[in-house]
Amino acid sequence: MFKKVLIANRGEIALRVHRACQEMAIRTVAVHSTADATAMHVRLADESVCIGPPAARDSYLNVAAILSAASITGADAIHPGYGFLSENASFAEMVEAHGFAFIGPTAEHIRMMGDKIAAKDAMRRLGVPLVPGSDGALESLEEARAVAERIMYPVLIKAAAGGGGRGMKVAHSADELEEAWRVARTEAKAAFGNDAVYMEKYLDRPRHIELQVMADMHGNVVHFGERDCSLQRRHQKLVEEAGSPALTAAEREAIGAQVTQGLSKLGYRNAGTLEFLWQDGQFSFIEMNTRLQVEHPVTEMVCGVDLVKEQLRVAAGERLGYAQEDISFTGHAIECRITAEDPESFAPSPGRVNTYHAPGGLGVRVDSALYSGYAVPPHYDSLVAKLVVHGKSRAEAISRMRRALSEMVVDGIRTTLPLHQRIMEDPQFQSGDYTIHWLERFVGLRG
Ligand code: ADP
């Protein structure tokens, strides 16, 4: 097993990785920007190295500084967390070229899944169901028109290099296609430096359901069931559940078997998530994330597994040591992403947190790097806490979440706590009957 792991990230996820390492008697190295010198991940880690100024491109994306930090501290592995360098194939390559283990998939698979067209190609070959669409990149507007006629409007133009919902445009009819084509390409070029786009049928009322997988280096692949991440605003997830209120155990088993067989053929290793749209009982693959996801705790709660420890174990070459039949699902878990944003306008609200009080009690988990007196810096993602609850049933999880939200205090900055309270109180959310469009309507309804 590794002796010392460098955590190439910040905030709650850096803490999350640190916690797994500590319990496995692995020493940790935190890296941080000058803006994060007093951050909790720096305070808790065994060692820390400042890797640059506040701007992420000069610190958390500064590959040379991170590799130097790993070298001078004698780390033997690097965990990238999520975001930043976690899905950068060249980074994974460089980490290994410098003699460190990369805690994640191979650079080849990161690269393949990072290009959504290549990812869909791979999944098609492996027999995983896809959203109907173009067979690859669209070469011209004429080709886009032809594909749209074939799969029928509405259609979605998506960036091959896409992420965070950017470079994605809907055309409801032929007269909207040219505009959608032009805007999607311009956005893709600006955001990713790559204007390759492809087309998918725009599903009008899908749920976003994703499957958590884990693979070792010996060809063993298992899945830890699904998460329902349909509650989104501008394609950003706000609330996640495990399991999905819409899925039966038989449906989970069927898609799980298809995916694990496919990934085993591919030789995939470490953690991964396959994202699907689910409508009318049909799964359609949209993308694969080759890293730990923000919402992984809901899976951990229902499966009783520590996904980061599993990542560390398989990255060190250990076998999974259990089979699919050994994985069971108990109760229901919900996560609320608490961000430093105005709960109505979603304007960022960084600044000093005067008082922070985390809720507790049975079945409550808080993953957060907050503390009283901490100043949330304006330079990074606005996520400040993940409030996760586990209950025997979905109804119990919802009442537990309402109770936990009411106990939580983040005073001094605005947060989305009041919005989460409203969602948990809503009868339609409580019924479990919602699609990816539900939350935007819910937020919009408030005059
Ligand atoms: P990104 O990588 O930018 O997050 P995804 O492909 O994961 O893009 O899609 C993000 C979200 O956009 C999905 O969760 C879903 O809400 C919506 N979406 C993506 N593809 C479609 C589609 N074909 N039809 C309807 N909604 C879609």
Element (H, E) at 237: strand 236-242
CA 208 to ligand 1: nearest atom: 14
Q: What are phi and psi of 231, to 5 degrees?
A: -80, 95
CA 200 to ligand 1: nearest atom: 23
User: Which of 235, 273, 276, 283 has most ligand 1 atoms within 8 Å of CB, for mutation?
Assistant: 235
CA 237 to ligand 1: nearest atom: 14
Q: Answer for the pair 202, 276: CB distance below 8 angstroms, yes or no.
A: no
- pLDDT at position 447 is 42
User: Which of 168, 203, 230, 274 has most ligand 1 atoms within 8 Å of CB, for mutation?
Assistant: 168
CA of 163 to the centre of ligand 1 (A): 9
CA 156 to ligand 1: nearest atom: 23
Q: C-alpha distances in angstroms, 202 versus 7, 151, 232, 276, 281?
A: 38, 10, 16, 13, 16
CA 235 to ligand 1: nearest atom: 11
Decide which of 3.40.50.20, 3.10.620.30, 3.90.550.10, 1.20.1440.130 is the CATH code for 4-88: 3.40.50.20
Q: 209 CB contacts (<8 Å, ≥6 apart)?
A: 226, 227, 228, 229, 230, 244, 246, 247, 276, 277, 278, 283
Cite the active site residues.
291
In this structure, which residue's CA is closest to atom 2 in ligand 1? 163
Tell me the β-bridge partners of 132.
Answer: none
Extended strands (E) in 313-374? 332-339, 351-352, 355-357, 364-368
In this structure, which residue's CA is closest to atom 7 in ligand 1? 287
Q: Answer for the pair 368, 341: CB distance below 8 angstroms, yes or no.
A: no
What is the Cα–Cα distance from 155 to 148, expressed in whole angstroms? 6
CA of 153 to the centre of ligand 1 (A): 16
Residues flanking ligand 1, CB < 6 Å: 131, 156, 162-165, 200-203, 206, 208, 232, 235, 275, 277, 286-287, 436
In this structure, which residue's CA is closest to atom 14 in ligand 1? 208
Superfamily of domain 207-443: ATP-grasp fold, B domain (3.30.470.20)
In this structure, which residue's CA is closest to atom 9 in ligand 1? 165
Extended strands (E) in 345-430? 351-352, 355-357, 364-368, 375-376, 383-391, 409-411
Which residue ranges of the chain lie beneath pLDDT 70?
Answer: 445-447
Q: C-alpha distances in angstroms, 430 versus 206, 210, 229, 241, 359?
A: 18, 20, 15, 12, 22
CA of 312 to the centre of ligand 1 (A): 30
Amino acid at position 350, single letter: P
Q: 78 CB contacts (<8 Å, ≥6 apart)?
A: 5, 6, 7, 8, 66, 70, 95, 100, 101, 102, 103
CA of 199 to the centre of ligand 1 (A): 12
CA of 115 to the centre of ligand 1 (A): 14
**Domain residue ranges in the chain:** 4-88, 141-201, 207-443
CA of 286 to the centre of ligand 1 (A): 7
Q: What are phi and psi of 351, to 5 degrees?
A: 135, -175
DSSP letter for 100, please.
P
In this structure, which residue's CA is closest to atom 11 in ligand 1? 235
What is the Cα–Cα distance from 347 to 182, expressed in whole angstroms? 28
User: Which of 286, 288, 294 has most ligand 1 atoms within 8 Å of CB, for mutation?
Assistant: 286
- pLDDT at position 445 is 67
- pLDDT at position 167 is 86
CA of 381 to the centre of ligand 1 (A): 20
Q: Answer for the pair 123, 262: CB distance below 8 angstroms, yes or no.
A: yes
- pLDDT at position 163 is 85
For the record, the structure tokens of 422 come out as 């409203």
CA of 206 to the centre of ligand 1 (A): 10
What is the β-pairing status of strands 77-79 and 47-52? unpaired
Let me know if domain 141-201 sits in CATH 2.30.40.10. no
For the record, the structure tokens of 263 come out as 């990934």
What is the Cα–Cα distance from 297 to 299, expressed in whole angstroms? 5
CA 167 to ligand 1: nearest atom: 3
Asked whether this chain's domains 4-88 and 207-443 adopt the same fold, the reply is no
In this structure, which residue's CA is closest to atom 12 in ligand 1? 235
- pLDDT at position 406 is 98
ipTM above 0.85, yes or no: yes
Please choose, from the candidates 308, 107, 115, 336, the residue with its C-alpha nearest in 3D space to the C-alpha of residue 239: 336
Number of Cα atoms under 13 Å in the Cβ half of residue 85 = 29
Q: Answer for the pair 8, 62: CB distance below 8 angstroms, yes or no.
A: no
Per DSSP, helices labelled H in 82-173 are 89-97, 107-114, 116-125, 141-151
